[in-house]
Amino acid sequence: MVRTRFAPSPTGYLHVGGARTALYSYLYARKHNGKFVLRVEDTDEERSSEEFLRLQLSDLKWLGYISDEGVEADTLKDIGPYGPYRQSERLSIYREHADKLLKEGRAYYCFLTDVEIDLQRKEAQRMGRPPQVSSPYRELPLKEAEKKLSNGEKAVVRFKVPDLTREFSFVDLVRGEVKFPSDMVGDFVCLRSGGMPVYNFCCVIDDALMKITHVLRAEEHLSNTLRQMMLYEAFGYELPQFGHLSIILGSDRQKLSKRHGATSVKEYRENGYLPEAITNFIALLGWSSPNAQEILSQKELVEQFSTERLNSAAAVFDEAKLKWMNAQYLRALPHQELWARLEPFFARAGLKLPQDPAWQDRSLSVYKTSIETLVDAIEHYRPLSQDAFIVYEEANEVLKWPTTKIVIEEWKRQLASQSDQYISEAQFLTVQDTVKNICKAKGKELFMPIRVAIVGKPHGAELKILVPLIEKKTLIERADIVLSKI
């Protein structure tokens, strides 16, 4: 049975790269009717927080990558038979594993101080050797080490790197055969002196005990894999299959970072991107559909996903493409659904828009093609908000023109003579013509006062689009407000 996992560290927001790792792990599990596990790697006590965990899980849920096992997004409680799923709650498990290695002589207590280690590193650098620790405590019998510990001395538990001449190799799902000379690493720390385990140690124990079969993760973890393979061997655990995903670059081909703009899922979510579009977009960062499809639903991704099509070359995060994709998804949504997604954005911007579904539908037919993100809709709808009308300072000059008052009065009169709740585009153009003829005003003197009477300023959105979306009685109220200022 295929078991994949996503193992976020709750030390920040969910990064788009993290989301991609989660997506691929999720797709692989779904495709093979396996299980997708969510494990929390929170052994970095200082940087981890419950709040980041909650936010990351909520973003994953929003994206739709729901785990079968692990820490659950809403309750933050464990689900599944291999818990606890937070590393901070598994310390006794790590301790037992460390004790086992110590007893077998595969690990040892190392009493080197930071200063001593630093000196060793500097010396190695000077001699042009790799900066590896050579500990005088490597062969110290366990009993003696324990005596030192009981005298209050501090020690880390170091793994005894087995055979310095052997080569370690494995077949990576993305990059094929990867070979490491084992002298690439020196004896490495498993437990810090306070007893806190380090990432490589926990990761191996958890992946093994949680029966993970496929580990898909970022390329930056490739160098950790050597240490992890040594630990798998020492514990006698079966190696999972690893796939190290290509790095993601910004458009300038530098590693994607804050400098490039939004990098967290949270930012894209707040900027009005749809989860379907983000999923589609990140799926194609390092993977391609066998039939070169660009727009793929989550269902199609599950059907088509395979590790064979993962690309080891760096992927470029093209924000313009993401925006384009977002617009495609947004425009394909049924209006009712699109409205439901827009509502929280309108509410946050303080807009009060008609609850009438027919109006919502009509307005979306007008604006849908001019928005690429949900946030884009706010400025289009702002003039339609029911209590948003103010007369802006930019209108002052128009208000001083001698013809303005009569134009707006006539505009109001013509509106009042219309019988429908809304006036159509054609009716609006007729009304405008009538005002023009009666008031003998044309050009700026006609259009600007009418515009001020509708949106409170002499510039802005096209009126023939806007007017049919504003109730006639609201248009009259707005005209009255403007007239009161003249």
Integer Cα distance of 179 and 171 in angstroms: 9
Stretch that binds ligand GLU, among 1-9, 142-150, 160-168, 347-355 (CB under 6 A): 1-9
Stretch that binds ligand GLU, among 4-12, 115-123, 312-320, 412-420 (CB under 6 A): 4-12
Stretch that binds ligand GLU, among 3-11, 28-36, 280-288, 305-313 (CB under 6 A): 3-11
Residues 419-448 that bind ligand GLU (CB under 6 A): none
Question: Tokens 């094929």 — which residue?
Answer: 176
Q: Which of 110, 203, 322, 371 binds ligand GLU (CB under 6 A)?
A: 203
Cβ closest to ligand GLU, residue 7 vs residue 435: 7
Rule CB under 6 A: is residue 221 a binding residue for ligand GLU? Answer: yes
188, two tokens: 């490495």
Integer Cα distance of 354 and 246 in angstroms: 47
Q: What dihedral do alpha carbons 329, 335, 336, 341 form, nearest 10°?
A: 40
Query: Helix, strand or coil for residue 169?
Result: strand
Our separate counts of H helices and E strands in the chain read: 20, 13
Binding string to ligand GLU for residues 387 to 426, with x set by CB under 6 A, is what? Answer: ----------------------------------------
Q: Which of 8, 17, 197, 458 binds ligand GLU (CB under 6 A)?
A: 8
Rule CB under 6 A: is residue 217 a binding residue for ligand GLU? Answer: yes
Q: How far is CA 210 from CA 52, 225, 243, in A?
A: 23, 18, 18
**Of residues 217, 202, 198, 192, the one with CA closest to residue 84:** 202
Rule CB under 6 A: is residue 59 a binding residue for ligand GLU? Answer: no
Cβ closest to ligand GLU, residue 41 vs residue 409: 41
Integer Cα distance of 478 and 486 in angstroms: 13
Residues with Cβ within 8 Å of 348's Cβ and at least 6 positions away in sequence, in order, are none
Stretch that binds ligand GLU, among 5-13, 166-174, 232-240, 420-428 (CB under 6 A): 5-13
β-pair partners for 241: 214
Stretch that binds ligand GLU, among 7-15, 160-168, 247-255, 338-346 (CB under 6 A): 7-15
Angle between helices 444-455 and 404-416 (to 10 degrees): 60
Q: How far is the CB of 41 from ligand GLU (least distance, A)?
A: 4
Q: Which of 3, 4, 9, 458 binds ligand GLU (CB under 6 A)?
A: 9
- Per this entry, what is the length of the chain? 486
β-pair partners for 216: 243
32, two tokens: 């093979």
Cβ closest to ligand GLU, residue 22 vs residue 463: 22
Q: How far is CA 231 from CA 150, 176, 187, 419, 471, in A?
A: 27, 22, 12, 81, 71
Q: How far is the CB of 235 from ligand GLU (least distance, A)?
A: 16
Question: Tokens 């109001």 — which residue?
Answer: 412
Q: How far is the CB of 241 from ligand GLU (least distance, A)?
A: 13
Query: Helix, strand or coil for residue 316?
Result: strand
Q: How far is the CB of 311 from ligand GLU (least distance, A)?
A: 19
Binding string to ligand GLU for residues 27 to 56, with x set by CB under 6 A, is what? Answer: --------------x---------------
The catalytic site residues sit at 258
Number of residues counted as binding ligand GLU (CB under 6 A): 7
Cβ closest to ligand GLU, residue 9 vs residue 213: 9
Residues that bind ligand GLU (CB under 6 A): 7-9, 41, 203, 217, 221
